[in-house]
A = this chain, B = another copy of it.
Amino acid sequence: MAEEKLKPTEAELDILAILWEQGPCSVRYVNDKLNMTRRVGYTTTLKQLQIMHEKGMVSRTSDGRTHIYSAERGREETQRQLLDRLLDAAFGGSASKLVMQVLGSHRSSPGELEEIKELIKKLEEGKP
């Protein structure tokens, strides 16, 4: 049984992003969505999904002859894995540096900033 914790490749990550956002969907849908950004053949997407299925990254059910794919591992688990890697390699493990960088270069809504402040407050209370 292959239940390793594989890191998705670039192309796989693009596909996962679609599955996460849209929920279970067909190869056709994924491919159309991909083609909104970059040109890629149908069979390419198909094969990609098949390989991801072999790896256990996605599951699938059949609707007639059409396969419907779903992301197997949760989004957050993958998020954490990729983020941890980036944090270590590029930010020397400093979470605050990373936060400063992303907050500084991407606009967040007042509501989002409020949420973050809430979290910080909780963190500060948690270990005085």
Residues of B within 8 A of A124 (CB): 110, 113
Identical chains bound together, number: 2
Nearest CB on B from A30, distance (A): 14
Contact-residue bracket for chain A? 35 or more
Q: Which stretch, A46-54, A58-66, A98-106, touches the partner chain B?
A: A98-106
**Can you identify 24 A-B contacts, CB atoms within 8 angstroms?**
A13-B90, A16-B89, A17-B90, A75-B90, A76-B101, A78-B90, A79-B101, A82-B86, A83-B90, A87-B106, A94-B112, A95-B103, A95-B108, A96-B113, A96-B115, A96-B116, A99-B108, A100-B115, A100-B116, A100-B119, A103-B123, A113-B123, A116-B116, A116-B120
